[in-house]
Amino acid sequence: MTLSKDKNWWRQAVIYQIYPRSFADSNGDGIGDLKGVTSRVDYLASLGLDAVWLSPFFPSALADGGYDVDDYRDVDPKLGTLADFDEMIAALHGKGIRVFVDIVPNHSSDRHVWFQEALASEPGSAARNRYIFRDGKGVNGDEPPSDWPSHFAPRAWTRITNPDGTPGQWYCHLFAPEQPDFNWDNPEVHEDFKKTLRFWSDRGVDGFRIDVAHALKKDLSEPLRSKPAIVDFDNPLSGDDPIFDRNDVHQIYREWREVFDEYDPPRVAVAEAYVRAERRVLYAKPDELGQAFNFDLLESPWDADSYRGHIDFNVKLAAEVGSSSTWVLSNHDKVRHATRFGLPQGADRNAWLLSENAGGVLDMELGTKRARAASLLQLALPGASYVYQGEELGLHEVWDIPLDEIQDPQWERNLHKYKGRDGCRVPLPWTSTGSSFGFGSGGSHLPQPAWFAEYAVDVESADASSTLEMYRAAVAARKQLLTGEDLSWGSLDGGQVIDFDRGNGWRSITNFGSEPITLPAGEVVVVSAPLVDGKLDSDATAWVVVR
C-alpha cells in the first residue's frame, strides 16, 4: 500500500499510542520491543488505524519510563536497533499505517553526553550553558537558586558534586533529577533538535508527539523569578509565568514547522501542553505544531453536560486556529478510563490506588460499559481520535501492583504519596493462557493480574460482542461515514442525552441517563451495548444512519 501525499491526512485520523515496553516482547526478556511491534502489524491493521504513536524507545536508564532520553537519534538496545526501526516502519507503512515518534525536548537524561560533558566542565562553560546551571543561594551556596517546583519532587534543583568532591552548582529539572532541563535560550539546543526531527523524518517518520511542549522556555533573567505561591500544573498562569507556557516558546515551534515543511507530505506534530484550552490551541496553529492534545474528556466525569460542553467548546476552538480538535480518553499517564468510570463519582484516584480494598471499590462492569459508550462517542467526534493501547480491549487499571515492583518515579520522588502510573502500563494480554498472556515468552516487566485473561486479544477477537470488535466495527464505519469536520446537535440532544449529527445522516447518540431511550428511525451501525427492546440502554452509545 502506498501512503497518500494528502497533507491533511491527520485532521481526522485515528492514532493509536504504543507504549513500546509493554506492547509485545519478541525475545523473551520481559520487555516489549520494536520487533514485537513489527510482529503485531496485522493486529494494528485490523484496527483500521491511520497511525501509531510510539512512546520513547530511545536509549534510556528508565528513570521515567523512557522520558529520560540518553540519545535522541538511536534505539535503546533493550528494544532493538535502528535496523529494527526501519523494518518496523516499512511494515507499518506497508499496511497504510503512519508513524509518530515521541520527542522529549524539555529535558534529556542525566546520561546524555551533553550533560556528562556539562558535569565535567567549569561553571560558565559552553557545555554547562546547554542546561540550566546556577550557583546556589545562601552563604555556602547550599540553598537552591529559586523556588521552582518539580513535577516529581518538592523542588526543581539538584546540587552537583564537582570532580574534586566539593559541592558544586545546581541544575534545573522540572521532572526527576535524572531529567535535567535544556537551556532553550541556547541556539545549539535549537539546532540539535532540528537535527533530531530531520533524522527521524528522513527515516520515514510521519509525525511527532511533543512532550511537555509548554515548558521549554523559562525566564532565565537574573534574579530568577519566583513561582506564584499557588502552583497548579494543570492550569498554570499564562504568557508570563517564569517556567510554563511562555509566549516565547512558540518561536521554537515556528522553527520546527519550517523543518516539517521540508517534507512531502509535511511532517505533522501534536503538542502535549497542560495549559488552559485557549492557550493550548496556540500550539496547534498551522504555522506551529498543527495539533495539540485536548485532555478535556480525559479529565471529565461521566456526565452529559460536561461532555456536551467540552465537545462544543473544543470543536469551535480548534477551528478558530485552523486545526481540528483532538480527543483523548486514556494515555500512559492516567488511570484507564474503564476504571475511572467504574469508581464512585468524584473518587480520589490516588487514594483509591493506595487503598487496601481497591478491587472491591471498583465496579468493573459499569466502568467497562461506560468506557465503551465513551469510546464510541469519541470515535464519532470531528477531529483526530487518540487511542491508548489496551483501551480497545476495555482494559482496566491494574490496581494491585506490589509497592516493591513500582517503576514510576512518582512513587519514590513524591515520598510515597502517589502510587503512580504503572497501572496503565502493564504489558498487554494477547492470549488468555501462556506465559505473560502472549506478551512474550519470558514474563512481563510489570505483573499482570489473572483477570487479564478475559480481556486477551484472542478471547475478544472470537466474541462479536467484545470491546475489541466494537472498536474494529466503529473505526471501519467511521472511515465509510466520515465527510467534513462539521458537527450539529441532533433532535434528541439535551439533558441526559448527547446526540450529534456528522452529516451524511450519521448520528451518534449517547444515553447518560438511567432509562433506555428510543432511537430515531434508521440503520443502527454500531452500538456499545445491546439494545433493550429496541431501545438504547443507559450508559450506552449508538451510531445511527438516518436517511
Residue closest to Ca ion, measured at CB: 33
Give yes or no for a cis peptide into 236 (omega within 30° of 0): no
Is the CB of 212 or the CB of 529 nearer to ligand GLC?
A: 212
Distances from the Cα of 208 to the Cα of 100, 104, 272, 290, angstroms? 5, 10, 11, 11
Least distance to Ca ion from the beta carbon of 448, Å? 15
Cβ-contact 79, 61 below 8 angstroms = no
> Counting contacts by CB under 6 A, is residue 526 touching ligand GLC?
no
Least distance to Ca ion from the beta carbon of 99, Å? 19
**Partner from Ca ion, ligand GLC, none contacting 333, C-beta within 5 to 8 A by type:** ligand GLC
Instruction: Please choose, from the candidates 21, 18, 214, the residue with its C-alpha nearest in 3D space to the C-alpha of residue 100.
Output: 18
Cβ-contact 327, 337 below 8 angstroms = no
> Counting contacts by CB under 6 A, is residue 212 touching ligand GLC?
yes
Cβ-contact 535, 515 below 8 angstroms = no
Cβ-contact 342, 366 below 8 angstroms = yes
Binding mask 2-41 for Ca ion (x = CB under 5 A): -----------------------x-x-x-x-x--------
- For the segment 163-182, give every residue that binds ligand GLC (CB under 6 A): 175
- For the segment 458-517, give every residue that binds ligand GLC (CB under 6 A): none
Count of CB atoms situated within 10 Å of the CB of 43 = 17
Cβ-contact 367, 340 below 8 angstroms = yes
What is the Cα–Cα distance from 260 to 352, expressed in whole angstroms? 43
Instruction: Please choose, from the candidates 265, 267, 273, 292, the residue with its C-alpha nearest in 3D space to the C-alpha of residue 105.
Output: 273
Cell 558535569 belongs to 119
Is the CB of 10 or the CB of 293 nearer to ligand GLC?
A: 293
Residue closest to ligand GLC, measured at CB: 67
Binding mask 321-360 for ligand GLC (x = CB under 6 A): -----------xx---------------------------
- The three grid cell numbers given for residue 105, joined into one nine-digit string: 525536548
Q: Which residues contact 235 (CB under 8 A, 6 or more apart)?
A: 275, 276
Cell 490551541 belongs to 281
- Per rule CB under 5 A, count of chain residues that contact Ca ion: 5
**Partner from ligand GLC, Ca ion, none contacting 211, C-beta within 5 to 8 A by type:** ligand GLC
Is the CB of 245 or the CB of 333 nearer to ligand GLC?
A: 333
- The three grid cell numbers given for residue 313, joined into one nine-digit string: 467548546
Is the CB of 384 or the CB of 456 nearer to ligand GLC?
A: 384
Q: Which residues pair with 386 in a beta bridge?
A: 15, 328
Classified as helix, coil or strand, 193 is helix
- Per rule CB under 6 A, count of chain residues that contact ligand GLC: 10
Q: Which residues are catalytic?
A: 211, 262
Q: Which residues pair with 357 in a beta bridge?
A: none
Cβ-contact 362, 531 below 8 angstroms = no
> Counting contacts by CB under 6 A, is residue 211 touching ligand GLC?
yes
Is the CB of 332 or the CB of 337 nearer to ligand GLC?
A: 332
Cβ-contact 132, 220 below 8 angstroms = yes
Cβ-contact 399, 336 below 8 angstroms = no
> Counting contacts by CB under 6 A, is residue 215 touching ligand GLC?
no
Least distance to ligand GLC from the beta carbon of 151, Å? 7
Is the CB of 27 or the CB of 306 nearer to Ca ion?
A: 27
Is the CB of 332 or the CB of 336 nearer to ligand GLC?
A: 332
- The three grid cell numbers given for residue 229, joined into one nine-digit string: 505561591
Is the CB of 78 or the CB of 535 nearer to ligand GLC?
A: 78
**Partner from Ca ion, ligand GLC, none contacting 27, C-beta within 5 to 8 A by type:** Ca ion
Instruction: Please choose, from the candidates 1, 83, 71, the residue with its C-alpha nearest in 3D space to the C-alpha of residue 34.
Output: 83
Is the CB of 241 or the CB of 272 nearer to ligand GLC?
A: 272
Binding mask 50-69 for ligand GLC (x = CB under 6 A): --------------xx-x--
* Alpha helix (H) residue ranges in 99-186: 113-120
Cβ-contact 254, 222 below 8 angstroms = no
- For the segment 232-291, give every residue that binds ligand GLC (CB under 6 A): 272
* Beta strand segments in 281-425, E: 290-292, 326-328, 384-388
Q: Which residues pair with 517 in a beta bridge?
A: 536
Binding mask 87-116 for ligand GLC (x = CB under 6 A): -----------------x------------
Q: Which residues pair with 510 in a beta bridge?
A: 498, 541
Residues of this chain that interact with ligand GLC (CB under 6 A) are 64-65, 67, 104, 175, 211-212, 272, 332-333
Residues of this chain that interact with Ca ion (CB under 5 A) are 25, 27, 29, 31, 33
